[in-house]
Every structure is written in C-alpha cells, then in structure tokens.
Amino acid sequence: MRFYEYESRRIVERAGIPVTDYGFATTAAEAGQAAERIGGPTVIKSQVLTGGRMKAGGVRFADSPEQAEADAAEILELEIGGHVPVGVLVDPKAEIEQEYYAAVLWDGRAKRPMMLFSDMGGIDIEQVAAEHPDHVGRGHLSNLHPIADFEAKQAVARCGMTGSALNRASAVLARLARLQRDYDMTLAEINPLARLADGSFVALDAHMEMEDEAVGRHKPMLHEIGVDLDEPRELYEPSEFERNVKAIDAADHRGVIQGKDHGFHGDLGLVIGAGGGSLTLTDAVRSQGGRPANYAEIGGNPSVAKSKGLAIEVLRKDGVEKIAVMMSIVSNTRVDIVARGVIKACLELGKDPAETIAIFRIPGAWEEEGYRILDRYGVEYCDRSVSMWEAAGRAVARVQGDRTGSQ
Amino acid sequence: MHGTFIDVEVSGAAASDPELARKLEEVCPVDIFAAAGGTVEIARENLDECVLCELCVEAAPRGTVVVRKLYDGTRLER
Amino acid sequence: MSVLLHEDFTFIVQGITGREAVNLTRECLDFGSAIVGGVTPGRKGREVHGVPVFDTVEQVVEHHGSAPDGAVVTVPPAFTKDAVLEAIENGIGLIVVVTERIPRADVAQMVELANERGARIIGPNCLGVIVPGVAKMGGIGGPARDAAKAYAPGPVGVMSRSGGMTTEISSTLTAAGLGVSTAVSIGGDAIIGSTYAELMPLFDADEQTEAIVIYTEPGGRMEAELVDWRERAGSELPIVAFMAGRFMDDEEMQGMSFGHAGTIVEGKEDSATEKIARLEAAGIPVVERIDEIPAAVKQKLGAAA
C-alpha cells in the first residue's frame, strides 16, 4: 500500500522524526490559509501516487499566500501520469545547509531489513551508490532482536559522517528503522532529510510503502492518519474488465479468480490458471504469434458461477471471439466444474461452445468427468499428453484461421 | 426444473417429508435443497454447482433422490 | 535416496482440523506418509482420518515419545508465525508452511529463528515436498492416485516457485521416462525459507539426484544466488531452468516494479531477459517450453556420463 506524501509525513512525525510545519489542503483557499499561517515563502506540492511531480509542474514555489493560492488552484487541476491530485502540501521553504538520504527496506537475499544512509541526499540514490559508493552507509537489522541505536550510528558513520551531524542523523535513522519494523513497511524512505542552519534535521519528503498483507494489523494507525482503506490505490486506473472480475471474485468465497487487461489489446481471451501456469501460458500464446486480450489467474477450486463469470467478462471484451481455457495439471481445482462454467458462459451469451472455446486444456482432478461434458458440447480439448505450449499453439491457430477466413 | 448440466429429482412422497427436507438441506454443500414449509424445495440456480458428492443420495431413503447428469445421461442413485 | 523426506520420516499437521488440512492429511496418508499427530488449539481429543489431535506441539512430542521430523503448517496468516515458532522451539527440524499472504516480517522472523535453531523452513505459500514412491508432505500433486500418476521415482530433482508447475514439470519428466528424485514447491513469496541455492547442497549430496530442473519467474535475485552458490561450491550437478513470465519484460507491462532503493540493495532487480542471460552464462540452459525440459535434461545427463 502506497502513501501520499502528506500521509508519509504524518507517519514519520508520529515516529518522532522532525518534519517541517507543513499544511495539507484540498482546496486553493485552504492552501492560501496554510501559507498565511506558515508565513514567508512556501513550496506547493501536488499529492499524487506517482513520481515525476517536479517535471510535470506539480511543484511550485510561492512568495505570498496569494501566490500559494493561485499555484494550488492550478496544481489541483493538473493530472500527473493519469492521476488527479487528492490535494496539495504547503511546505515552508526551508533554509537548507545540507541534504541527506535515509531509508530502511528489505534485503530479500539476506532476509533482513537493511538501513541505507547517504550524505548526498536529494538526488537519485541509485546514482549515488554507483558513482560514490563510499557515500552510502549500510547496515542489516535482525528480525528477532531489538533495534539498537548503535546499529543506526554505524550505518551513518559508514558514509563518512562525524560530529553532531552524525549523532542527530543516527537518531533519525534509528527511529526510521523502528518505524519500518513496527508498521511492516516494505520501504521507509526520507529523501531529502535536511540539516538546517541551526544544525537540526527535518524530513523534507518521505516515501512510505506498507506491505499489503500487513495492512489489516495496522488499522488503528491508518485510521489515525486519516487513510480511507476503501479507496483504491492502484498504479493505474482499473479497467471495467478488471473491476468486474474483482467484483465477481469478491461475491463468492469459493476459489479465486483474477483478471487484468492493462497492456493487453489482443483478440484471444484467456481463461487460464493458476499463478505459474498463467505466466507460462501467456508466454506460450505470445511466442506463437497469438495476441492475448487479457491475463487471468484461476485457482483454489472456483464455483461454476465464478468460472462462468470470468469467461463472460473475457468474452465481452471488444474483439474477442474465442477463449482458450488452459491450466497446468490441477489437483485442487476441478476440471468438470471449470468446464461447466465456461460452457455456461458461452450458452448465456448465445454463443456455440464448440466455436467459442478455441481449446480446453486442463488435466487433473475430475478430468474424465470434465471430458464427458466437453464431448457433449463438441468442445476441442486435450489431456496432459498435449503440452501447455502445444495447446496454446492450437488456440492461436484457431483464432488466426478465423481471421484469415473472414478476410 | 433442471440446470444446464445437472438435474435433481426427489420422488413424490419423499418431497413432502419435512425430516428429509431438513436433512437434504443440511448435507448439500452447494445449497441445492431448501426445506421450505416442510417440503423439499430445489434451488434451481444452484443445480449446476453440484459437485457429485452423492451426500443427498446417501441421506435419502433408497430410490427417492436421483441426480441426473444431463451431459451424458447417467444418474447417481441408490 | 532422496532429499528432505525418507521412508521413516514422521510429521505433524498444525491446523489439522481446517478444511484444506483435512484433505491434505487424507492425501498424505494415502500416499504413504507417516503423520503422527495434529494440532488445533482447543480440539484435543479429536481425530482426523485416524490422526490424533492435540492442543499444543509439546503434547504431540510427548505422545510420540520424541520430536517428529517435520510439521506442515496450514493455519490462517495471522497465526502462522506463532505456529512455526512453536514447531521450531519443540525441536521440529523441517517445517512446510502452506499458508499464503503472510507479512514478510513474520516470515523473516521464522526464518531467522529456524537458522538459529538449525531448523529448515520450506515456503510459505507452497505446496510442500514429495519423494515419489515414498512420502509427500503437503498438498503437492493432489490426491495420492493423481500424485502417483505425475510423479514416478527417477534421477531428477525439481524446485519450483509455482506449486502447480511443480506437478506439470514432474509429470512431463515422468512421461518422458525420467522421473523425479524429490520435488520441492519452494513458494512464490519475496522472502522464503529455502531458496534454490539453499536447497542445492542437499541435492548435490544426494546419490539418486543426477540433474536439477528449476521453474522460475521474474523478480527477486534467487537465480543470481544460485549461480553464485554453484561457482563457490564448484558443483557440477547439471541444472536446466524454465522461465515463465517473459511477457512481463514488455514495456506495456512495466509499472509494477520495485522502487529505486530496492535495486541498490540486492543489485538491479532481474527481469526475465536478465535472468536468462545470467543462467545461460553459468552453463544453465533456459528452455522456453515445458516440453523441451526432458530433452535438455537427457542431453545434460548424456554429457555427464
């Protein structure tokens, strides 16, 4: 789960990390009032769940409350990468002595969180790591033992820092490390972390991502900072197909179906499963010249209604005349139940299953029963002796046969 | 009354046995049977969800409940 | 021989009274596995397919006379960490975690404790381990009859991030007359108990295993770790890889990747193309089709002989 900058700031603030005296506004008038209260020059920042705000014109510098209000009015109307801002953050323009970078994130290979600190903040950390590796301090953390302050100090010292800056920065990093652990953040990043003229450190921008699987156990904190859990936070706006499949899945607890069509524009509908099988089959279709209309994952023995629902949504997509129903060998999901579902989808849409189902390749549990159903409706099917690749190839050939036939 | 793939028949006298109705409602994992006012009612919209478990056939007196597979003409009964 | 499981291997099922666990227990017993007890807090005294149920792992250990060799954990995500810690602290050495959607921090804690106590975790989000003709631990392969159909004993070790594809690949090897020594569904999550590289030493030391097949997907750094291990250990056990999800390299599919910071911790996140290049450079052929696996394995076995 991703957070807006204003939410990330509230999270770091709660963890005892100093932030500027910022304001969050959803209207231009509120932004003007916030600038008035802050006093002096301000920075107005668009609140969107995407990067590249600066380039897109989503960050402006204002000298007066009037200017802040005018800038906010424009930013609130500005879509960035397809995202409409939920508001603006009004920040005092700080007198910065130096910018730093602080983050805590997972190192999957070590299976531990890792702290990262750099005295070259404000810019792309990847670039710093490549060009100035001695300016990046790192340190792994235990998952079991308490996080000790010295561990943060070591990481900061490893990038060459000393003096009172070392001590103040270490305190920030230790708090960030505890925050990462306490709230299951996959990424807890402050960039830039600024040292002001008086030597104090403040977080000027923060980027937090909470692991989706852990959201349930942090509801009190999320509620406190005003996060609406029902609000979708996708990287892109879900399509009608994606929304419909999600609704079908949610309506029935039996089995799991997922469907995506972001980036797919083809004419062969895919009713496929499960995780690994879906990836393998999508590759097999594409590698043999097929053009998938969607991606899907079926698993956990869905009901007839659920399989039917997915097939109907796929068949309703523009330009889709045929579906390929394929999976790797199943042991939990039942072949006959999926067969009933996809045939029923065809019948309800007034289509002939034999013409509409390009291929049915699901070997495994209850396959004999499934094949009897498919026989009855004249649907082309195959068992495990026909590979996933071959089955995908047959489906592609049938769709291409249609295409050349109609030309 | 039948689904696309599955049909279930409960023979005359058994269909109005409240005890059997309750039992069938309890055993069916996909809610095909409902005990409505003492008689067995069949939820048509659930027929095609039948998982061929035969629990209904087992729960009823011999010969009273029959599950028909409409796609191959075979029957589950005892 | 085989790895992880053997003829006399005993295990328990934690969460044994759950719907999926009941099925899994039946399947494993039918396949010949020795399940010596089950645990569901509050359900002591029951039986599941003849397996006695207890409230705690400690009680099973007492009943059995010693710590069983393994535990299958299939409890809801919120309780999984505790169940695994309970198994570890009661001396169980191999823990298969079936549950999915467990937060990473919980997994990392279990793994760190397992390392401290000398235990091994497989999963989470996996189907378990199977030694054809001997035993299976978890839902892998499904009902005993189906599992026997897909898994014949043979010389190939299988490790897969996808549970379903473990069976598809093994079935292909079986149909080609090769067969499987041990197949491990290692789990698909970002952090798992045992990676390819962490299981390789076992296969390497196993007399029955003459080649390895891995199923992999984009994301993570497990292939790089495997390649590093191979070089470091000087292992010559042949490996064949299958990579799914090549389509994700397409520009239109981008946007689901990790942030920048993630890339500098573990090195650049591997795309399918990068993984293929990395594996092939290390002498590990990457086939494009599952049905090409047997020929690639036979070629490797021929070269080794």
CATH code for the domain of C246: 3.40.50.261
Characterize the bridge pairing of strands C239-243 and C180-185.
unpaired
Task: Determine B/C contact with 3+ CB pairs under 8 A as the test.
Answer: no
Chain C positions in Cβ-Cβ contact with residue A124 (cut-off 8 Å): 260
Does B36 lie at the interface with A, CB-CB under 8 angstroms? no
Inform me whether the pLDDT recorded for C256 exceeds 50: no
- Inspect the interface and report whether the beta carbons of B51 and A344 lie closer than 8 Å: no
Is position B33 within any domain?
yes
* E strand map for A5-123: 23-25, 42-46, 59-62, 88-92, 96-107, 112-118
Buried b (16+ CB within 10 A) or exposed e, C94-103: bbbbbbbebb
What's the gap between Cα C235 and its chain centre?
A: 21
Query: DSSP 3-state assignment of A405?
Result: helix
- Here the tokens at position C106 are 């919980």
Residue with tokens 């989000």: C125
Is position C1 within any domain?
no
- Domain count across chain C: 1
Q: What is the ipTM of this complex?
A: 0.96
d(C-alpha A381, C-alpha A358), whole Å: 9
Characterize the bridge pairing of strands C153-160 and C180-185.
parallel
- Inspect the interface and report whether the beta carbons of B72 and A376 lie closer than 8 Å: yes
Spans of chain A, pLDDT less than 70: 235, 403-407
Is position B1 within any domain?
no
Does C167 lie at the interface with A, CB-CB under 8 angstroms? yes
State mean pLDDT over C182-202.
96
Q: Which residues make Cβ contacts (< 8 Å) with residue A116, sequence separation at least 6?
A: A101, A102, A103, A104, A105, A125, A136, A137, A138, A155, C261, C264, C265
Residues shown for chain A: 407
- Domain count across chain B: 1
Inform me whether the pLDDT recorded for C269 exceeds 70: no
Is position C23 within any domain?
yes
Does B75 lie at the interface with A, CB-CB under 8 angstroms? no
For chain B, list the contacting chains (3+ Cβ pairs, <8 Å).
A
Query: DSSP 3-state assignment of A205?
Result: coil
Entry pTM: 0.92
Inform me whether the pLDDT recorded for B25 exceeds 80: yes
Is position C200 within any domain?
yes
Nearest CB partner across the interface for A344, out of B48, B52, B72: B48
Is position C250 within any domain?
yes
Residue ranges making up the domain that contains C264 = 10-304
Is position B15 within any domain?
yes
Does C18 lie at the interface with A, CB-CB under 8 angstroms? no
Q: What is the DSSP letter of A72?
A: H
Inform me whether the pLDDT recorded for B60 exceeds 50: yes
| Paired residues of A360 in beta bridges | A325, A381
CATH number at residue B24: 3.30.70.20
Is position B62 within any domain?
yes
Chain A positions in Cβ-Cβ contact with residue B30 (cut-off 8 Å): 303
Nearest CB partner across the interface for A340, out of B30, B48, B72: B48
Question: pLDDT digits over C102-112, tens only?
Answer: 999 999 999 99
Query: DSSP 3-state assignment of B35?
Result: strand
Nearest alpha carbon to residue C215 among C196, C192, C190, C191: C196
d(C-alpha A276, C-alpha C197), whole Å: 20
Question: pLDDT digits over A322-342, tens only?
Answer: 999 999 999 889 999 999 999
Is position C4 within any domain?
no
Domains identified in chain A and CATH numbers = 1-20+95-237 (3.30.470.20), 21-93 (3.30.1490.20), 240-406 (3.40.50.261)
Does A43 lie at the interface with C, CB-CB under 8 angstroms? no
Query: Cis link prior to A274 (omega < 30° from 0)?
Result: yes
Closest-CA residue of chain A to B74: A372
Residue with tokens 């977080």: A203
Query: DSSP 3-state assignment of A66?
Result: helix
Question: pLDDT digits over C122-181, tens only?
Answer: 999 999 999 999 999 999 999 999 999 999 999 999 999 999 999 999 999 999 999 999
Does C105 lie at the interface with A, CB-CB under 8 angstroms? yes
Catalytic status, residue C49: no
- Inspect the interface and report whether the beta carbons of A112 and C108 lie closer than 8 Å: yes
Is position C182 within any domain?
yes
Query: Cis link prior to A113 (omega < 30° from 0)?
Result: no
Inform me whether the pLDDT recorded for C8 exceeds 80: yes
Residue ranges making up the domain that contains B49 = 6-76
Is position C68 within any domain?
yes
- Inspect the interface and report whether the beta carbons of C172 and A387 lie closer than 8 Å: yes
Nearest CB partner across the interface for C168, out of A283, A328, A390: A328
Q: Which residues make Cβ contacts (< 8 Å) with residue A243, sequence separation at least 6?
A: none
State mean pLDDT over B18-45.
92
Does A126 lie at the interface with C, CB-CB under 8 angstroms? yes
Inter-CA distances, C60 with C25, C30, C63, Å: 16, 21, 5
Q: Which residues make Cβ contacts (< 8 Å) with residue C103, sequence separation at least 6?
A: A184, A211, A213, A214, A217, C77
